[in-house]
Structure 1
């Protein structure tokens, strides 16, 4: 039987050759093979090799310091093809300063591209991405100036008279993965990981192209000890295994803690006071956004305001049994964490594979998704992927918003310096933000309002002071917050004039009261 070699981190790093294409599997710091990634970086810093690498990754994989930040060196990296870089400041600097080639592929399409590659298909064929910045007619996901003249990694194909995106296969030389237990034969499990991710699909894609698989593991056990159903990657597909010698530092379950059994489903813990959020601008936005829910909805939350506030609000409003919360990494139910721990949840009742989750998002589509956003124009186009000079990338934004039945964007009305306060059920702007978000021209189109209108997708844009709805004629203002002046605090701060609803309403004042719950459960029941 074929068995992997058990190597030191330095020995594994020495396997990687110059000019190689490497896939790494993880999300934020979850499943980051830190022991191996650090060894590869140290080898480059000491010897100049491996260099001129192409790094491939579906998810953002860093906590601003660790993860694939270790590859953020000029000359070490030649090209990056990824889904998201919002927590990778060094990588975004390399991209924005034109030091490396950079392409973006939507996260869900990327996770499933591995499956297509593994099966020898001509790429991932999908509607997802049409009309956005990853469409080759709108830039092809090329994230900086030097990439504009580089070859495309996607194209448009026509099948039965309809247009589709085709994300082309990416030949892999190496795939770096992580697991919890490994036996003497190299069979690998992910018991303590907070996500299942697309580990096996990426491994098989690498094998399709004759590449090598390097795995990091936490515990080594005797052959035959692992339950066959728990083995995620059979050892015959793994070439080398590196045992982590410092799990507290280099095999953390996520950024905030080395291991918590509630986040991998081993235990359920009671909700406590720390799960409730104080009233802030972000919570007020989340409260109003969640008023768009209906009983039995299956919902998705994206990064930013939604992931930081939606889960806690649902918990404190006691509607966890009335709706089902999901996250793109495969979570169902529970209380998601936010910030650098995006993508994990405690007390979730199901945790499916990352690429399988996107079969649902890209197929049936969630009932409603709550997404962050940065810019919006009159036509309902939204930019959430490039704000200012730094390219954050798409993550799962394009995948999920394309097919969700109802999209609710959550954003402050202005940016940079906005400060608010609340009293007597009213909203007060203590300091206005200096950044305009309602603009005539977007930096990038992440969500295509025209396509949304053509397929009659429902869309709202919720801020702390105003609610907009996308209509066939354009963006319509439907609600304003109590205490806000329509002309000076809304219309004068927009580059375009929205349609104003003839039935313009005042937002529910309980949104701006600090007492909890604010009555969301009653709102949902009245809709039945």
Structure 2
């Protein structure tokens, strides 16, 4: 990237950091319907005590930042609204650092319960849960979006096979509670299926790009839609309120209306609203919008520069680069042209990068659980979006589409056990170590082929020299006899005919009836010492064990190509 472009991005971030904690809660656009268009401070007063509130969005996409701050300030000043049950579909926290996230409402007395698919970034909610100030409940993202859809038709439950044989299965002592002191669970057995439920949505909050003077909402130039429509219609059916925040008022365009004014109770205009993390809607980046045709190389460089400056995407070393090449080569080997693909956050993003750099990007359709469809999956700070996406659907739509159409997924792991079960939802003991499954369970359940990718050990030291890998210092095994929590049930996956791989620092494993079987090993790795004796998991060794090719271990002559 040219110096001048890099300088612009630094300026962009400096401006963002200087203003990210400023909110004009009293701003009103002026001569316009005063009943529908209200200030953020007034919006906070519209939320009844004891109600169930859902805030829409994922990560940096469509954050309701000004509403979070207004609700917080209202409670601190006037003790209202209070005792709220707060719901999100996915991650909306700032890891205890960033302002303008759902952590703004993590105040004792303001919320009494937090329900989400992913809680790792909501540090303040986790702290409240650990202190027994609130209950925290976890549901798969796909089930939350399905229930939102169902609530718009008068049904507060969802019947599903998702979660059977996992930490959510009541037959195995499972439930939705992440806090030991919780008094309820939102899942129960119903025949051969699990029945998930959620409280009725009383208030839906969302951030959309624009509204017209009549109150119609426009998604044009958004980076993701997520579950805006489902949340609004659920609140409508329940006789609740829908409060939107938009960046500005535009001229009415009947052909472009995304959500009719009849579904929206109040609108807060905030000129400082974001399109996505750090990017103001008024200066939106076209590369993240539906149907964009921006220069891919320039867009990638722009995205990568921000991720590098903010350190949101970790710097990958030689060993991790080999890991990524292993996974990308396996991906191309088992995938087919035209496949619909989902990539998880972290190391799976590296697979997308290599597929693009290898010239095979156009042979696949990539997608995200946000509903973003097509284009190159955005990484790091912008995960959930895409560069030049073809279409934008809702989260509920994409999860339902995945059930019949998702061909292959690449997902990260925390632990793998002797049976091949995977844990991604719990880092350790205690509420503060809880992560949640996010969209993982629905995605893994839908995909025909699953490639898990993760390091062999945590905090281990490896040395890569001349294409050979040496384990210098052992760390904490990630392949264990029994995972802390089953988020993916291997036996159920095999029963349904899925093909499952585990790509690790030391080699590639394939799921068999006996558990993970090592089918490729890194040159330099001693199978007995570095794998069998370094892990508490029971691991099978293939009779046809192969070495990872030199092109992968060194990168020399590495090329992705169809057979």
1:96-138 alpha-carbon deviations (Å, 9 max, x no partner): 4433111111111111211111111352122112111122334
Residue 164 (structure 1) aligned with residue 193 (structure 2): yes
Is the 8 Å Cα contact of residues 116 and 139 (structure 2) preserved in structure 1? Answer: yes
> What is the aligned partner in structure 2 of residue 402 from structure 1?
445
Could you tell me whether the CA contact under 8 Å between 1:466 and 1:490 is conserved in 2? no
Superposition deviation, residue 41 in structure 1: 1.0
Distance (whole Å) between structure 2 residues aligned to residue 83 and residue 189 of structure 1: 27
* TM-fit CA distance, 1:155: 1.8
Aligned to 1:354: 395
1:72 alignment partner in structure 2: 106
Q: Is the 8 A contact 2:319 2:464 kept in 1?
A: no
1-side partners of 2:177 and 2:380: how far apart? Answer: 26
Deviation of the 1:169 alpha carbon = 4.1
Pairing partner for 1:233 from 238, 242, 259: 259
- Cα distance, 1:171 vs. partner? 0.9
Q: Do structure 1's residue 244 and structure 2's residue 270 form an aligned pair?
A: yes
Match of 1:292 in 2: 331
Q: Deviations over 1:316-343 (max 9, x none)?
A: 1111122222221123332222233210
Alignment of 1:181-196 (within 5 A): 181-196=210-225
Q: Is the 8 A contact 2:296 2:387 kept in 1?
A: no
Asked if the contact 1:383–1:445 (Cα under 8 Å) also holds between the matched residues in 2, the reply is yes
CA distance in 2, matches of 1:462, 1:98: 39
- Report the count of equivalent residues: 504
Q: Which residue of 1 aligns with 2:427?
A: 387
1:265-310 CA-partner distances (Å, limit 9, x unpaired): 3442232584899664333222212223323132211122113x12
Shift of 1:396: 0.4
TM-score normalised over the length of structure 1: 0.90
C-alpha distance in structure 2 between counterparts of 1:189 and 1:418, whole Å? 49
2:147–2:155: 8 Å Cα contact kept in structure 1? Answer: no
What is the alpha-carbon distance in structure 2 between the residues aligned to residue 348 and residue 236 of structure 1? 29
How far apart are the structure 2 equivalents of 1:12 and 1:367? 43
2:127 and 2:89 map into 1 onto residues whose CA distance is 19
Q: Partner residue of 2:84? A: 53
**1:151 aligns to what?**
184
> 2:59: which partner in 1?
28
- Following superposition, the deviation at residue 54 of structure 1 comes to 0.5
How does the TM-score come out when normalised to structure 2?
Answer: 0.85
User: 1:255: how far off?
Assistant: 1.7
Q: Is the 8 A contact 2:510 2:518 kept in 1?
A: yes
- d(CA) in 2 for partners of 1:334 and 1:428? 38
Unaligned runs of 5+ in 2: 1-32, 305-314
Q: 2:558 — aligned with what?
A: 518
CA displacement 1:127-159 (0-9 Å, x = unmatched): 112111122334222112012xx222122223x
Q: Deviation string for 1:495-521 (max 9, x for gaps)?
A: 133111111111122222245x72112
Report matched runs for 1:436-475 at 5 Å: 436-475=477-516
Quote the Cα distance in structure 1 between the aligned partners of 2:268 and 2:461: 49
Q: Which 4+ residue blocks in structure 1 deviate beyond 4 angstroms?
A: 275-279
- Quick one: distance in 2 between partners of 1:288 and 1:333? 24
* CA distance in structure 2 between the aligned counterparts of 1:280 and 1:341, rounded to whole angstroms: 24
**CA pair 422-350 structure 1, distance change in 2 beyond 3 A:** farther
Other-structure match for 1:37? 68
Partner residue in 2 for 1:426: 468
